[in-house]
Structure 1
Amino acid sequence: MNDLGPPSTPVLPHSVAWLGYGGLLPFVGLALALLADPGHGLLWQQALLAYGAVILSFVGALHWAFAMLLPGLTPAQAQGRYVWSVVPALLAWPAVLLPPGAAVPLLVAGFVAHYLQDRALAARAALPGWYLPLRLRLTSVASLALLAALLAPSR
Structure 2
Amino acid sequence: MNVLPSTSPPKHVSLLGYGGLLPFIFLALLIPLSLDYRPLFAIALVNYGAVILSFVGALHWGFAMTVHDMSTEQRSDRLIWSVIPALIAWIATLLAMPLGCLLLVIGFVVHLRQDRQLLRVMRLPAWYLPMRLRLTLVASVCLLLAAMVETLHS
Tell me if both proteins adopt one fold, taking TM over 0.5 as the criterion: yes
CA contact (8 A) 2:61 2:79 kept: yes
- Partner SS state of residue 39, structure 1: coil
Q: Which amino acid aligns with 1:51?
A: Y
Task: Return the alpha-carbon distance in structure 1 between the equivalents of residues 112 and 52 of structure 2.
Answer: 13
Summarize the alignment of residues 71-90 of structure 1 with structure 2, pairs less than 5 Å apart. 71-90=68-87
Identity, % of aligned positions: 51
Deviates more, 1:37-46 or 1:75-84: 37-46
Q: Do structure 1's residue 35 and structure 2's residue 20 form an aligned pair?
A: no
Summarize the alignment of residues 1-155 of structure 1 with structure 2, pairs less than 5 Å apart. 7-150=4-147, 151-152=149-150, 153-154=153-154
4+ runs of 1 displaced by more than 3 Å? Answer: none
Q: Deviations over 1:92-112 (max 9, x none)?
A: 001111112321221110000
CA contact (8 A) 2:57 2:84 kept: yes
**Post-superposition offset of 1:8:** 2.8
CA contact (8 A) 1:34 1:41 kept: yes
**Post-superposition offset of 1:149:** 2.2
Q: Deviations over 1:104-143 (max 9, x none)?
A: 2211100000000000112332011110001000001111
Task: Return the alpha-carbon distance in structure 1 between the equivalents of residues 145 and 122 of structure 2.
Answer: 35
Give the structure-1-normalised TM-score: 0.90
Deviates more, 1:74-83 or 1:116-125: 116-125
Task: Return the alpha-carbon distance in structure 2 between the equivalents of residues 38 and 117 of structure 1.
Answer: 38
CA contact (8 A) 2:32 2:146 kept: no
Q: Deviations over 1:13-34 (max 9, x none)?
A: 1010000000000000000111
Q: Which runs of 5+ in 1 are unaligned?
A: 1-5
Give the structure-2-normalised TM-score: 0.91
Deviates more, 1:139-148 or 1:96-105: 96-105
Q: Which amino acid aligns with 2:23?
A: P
- Partner SS state of residue 94, structure 2: coil
